[in-house]
A and B are shown apart, each in its own frame.
Chain A
């Protein structure tokens, strides 16, 4: 069945460094790939998304790349800040979104 794999499950980076989270998906029909940030006890919030007709998208410190041939996509956060600490979920799909298991990102002072 459809599946989205996400790595790593936990990531610790020094404040100011970059963080990269990677996902792969199985369903070739997937056309929409959102990334959500979830702080403890709160709802998931969309931070960036990309569609299959685009290979890269950037929004300030956040960028996402998509390789449709290899079926993988990545989230890049540059110049990390303490408020970036959260769980990040990648998703893939079209109508429904299949989410990865999440990456807990810790920004170390």
Chain B
């Protein structure tokens, strides 16, 4: 069964550094999402992406964040200048259509020191 994949599984970075988290959504899916989960807390929506543009974003997704679909398979989340509070598990998800099942990737655990 096709799965969403994410790399790296873990990322440690210094505060102020840029990080890029990578995702490969399920191949025929059209909608892509990023969520984050701070340790022990709920999963929080960051951004949704469709037809090569952001369709919705949350208050968390400020100017430090950006998303891109650089080619036909990858979907990336960039944090321009990381802060301590960006430490979390970042999940990518994809769905075939809007209001369809969102399949989550295994996550990237980001630690900002």
Contacts and interface: CB of A to CB of B under 8 A. Distances in A.
Contacts, number: 49
A46 interface: yes
B101 A43 contact: no
Contact of A32 (B41, B58, B99): B99
17 contacts: A31-B99, A36-B104, A42-B106, A43-B105, A46-B101, A46-B102, A51-B99, A89-B43, A95-B31, A95-B98, A96-B48, A96-B56, A97-B45, A99-B44, A99-B45, A101-B42, A102-B42
Contacts of A43: 91, 104-107
Interface residues on A, range: 20 to 34
Given A96-B48, A96-B58, A44 B43 contact: yes
Interface residues of B, number: 21
Given A31-B99, A94-B99, A100-B42, 5 more contacts: A43-B91, A43-B105, A46-B102, A46-B103, A95-B31
Nearest to A6: B42
A103 to B, nearest CB: 11
Contacts of A38: 43
Interface in A40-59: 42-46, 49, 51
Interface string A9-53: 000000000000000000000011010101000111110010100
A31 B43 CA distance: 19
Nearest to B31: A95
A99 B42 contact: yes
A49 B56 CA distance: 21
A75 interface: no
A42 B105 CA distance: 9
A94 B98 contact: yes
Nearest to A94: B99
Contact of A44 (B31, B41, B55, B91): B91
